[in-house]
Amino acid sequence: MTLTGANRHDITQLLPLLDAVPPIRGRRGRPRHRPGTLYGDRGYDSNPHRRRLRERGIRPRIARRGVAHGSGLGKVRWVIERGFAWLHAFKRLRTRYERRADIHLGFLQLACALICHRELMKSF
């Protein structure tokens, strides 16, 4: 998770965020460091970024600008939108009151921990 100013484009943080992904555990052998596929909306449509993703072994599934809707990304994008809705349930995150980024990041991490705790409690 990264925190930037409101006037920064999301695409500027795409590659640094992918580089910060920790090893993914699960199967035996060498742990994966990168996802196999990246889904994105039209805001991430950029040929240089698509090329850099392919160089890293990541298949880009990004909707193209100027193409009619119906790319099929809604089947997987609702998970992210649901996560944003859960974060916006915390009013302090929906409207940023803190001037200092470290305090806002702390509240964001606390909200993520509370959301994970709530979802884990549903499974028991």
pLDDT in tens, 20-31: 877 777 777 777
Which SS3 state, helix, strand or coil, does residue 38 take? strand
- Answer yes or no: are the C-beta atoms of 24 and 31 closer than 8 Å: yes
Per-residue confidence (pLDDT) for residue 115, from 0 to 100 = 94
pLDDT in tens, 53-74: 999 888 988 888 877 776 677 7
Q: Which residue has the higher pLDDT, 103 or 43?
A: 103
Q: Is the pTM of this model over 0.75?
A: no
CB burial of residue 91 (10 Å; 0-12, 13-18, 19+): exposed
